[in-house]
Amino acid sequence: MKRPMLSNEQVEILSDDSSSSDADNDVLMSQQLNDEPSIELSSQAWLFRRAKSYQEYMKLIPIPTKRGTLIPYTSWTGLGSSIKKIYEQPLHYLTNIHLNRLDQERLGAEDEDVPLDMIIHPAKAETTIWLIEEVHRRTSSPHHLAQVWTADPRYHSFIDAIFPKLGS
């Protein structure tokens, strides 16, 4: 007796061959089917699911409230990297993009060679990053993220591989 094959299901096949011995007739064979999904998601749908999962995860990470360290820095992305190390937290994809753009905006400015911490106080700069981060963590739409990621084939390079312990 054969059942119709459905993906990701274990199929039982009973032998109906009358020429086989009785022992063979009683043998139950099981076969694991191919693990590939029967319906393949479009790349847009897959990217949206990934963006939704990412956004839900980022919402779970609390913004640090105890900040007392003055972090020396020369660029916005440098300050972002220091923040990630000190607080052992990722920054949101959109925050990383924002910091990168702030650095690009300085190119060609008359004070481009001046370390940024000489222009903007480190405490103000760090607070600014955390405020932007809070906006991105709490209010970013997975639809918007998926749309931005679609336009950026290297989006994964701006997603931090830092996974803090949650819930303690």
161 pLDDT above the threshold of 90: no
CB 121 within 8 A of CB 129: no
CA distances from 103 to 6, 55, 78 (A): 53, 25, 10
The string of pLDDT tens digits covering residues 108-145 is 999 999 999 999 999 999 999 999 999 999 999 999 99
Sign of CA dihedral 105, 111, 115, 119: negative
User: Is the pTM of the predicted complex or chain greater than 0.75?
Assistant: no
- In this prediction, residue 19 carries a pLDDT of 44
Confidence label for 35 from pLDDT (cuts 50, 70 and 90): low
Confidence label for 3 from pLDDT (cuts 50, 70 and 90): very low
- In this prediction, residue 31 carries a pLDDT of 37
Crossing angle (nearest 10°) for helices 76-87 and 122-139: 70
The string of pLDDT tens digits covering residues 52-69 is 999 999 999 999 988 778
Q: Where are the beta strands (DSSP E) in 84-138?
A: none
- In this prediction, residue 33 carries a pLDDT of 44
Structural Rg of the chain based on CA atoms: 27
Sort 147 into a burial class: Cβ within 10 Å, 0-12 / 13-18 / 19+: middle
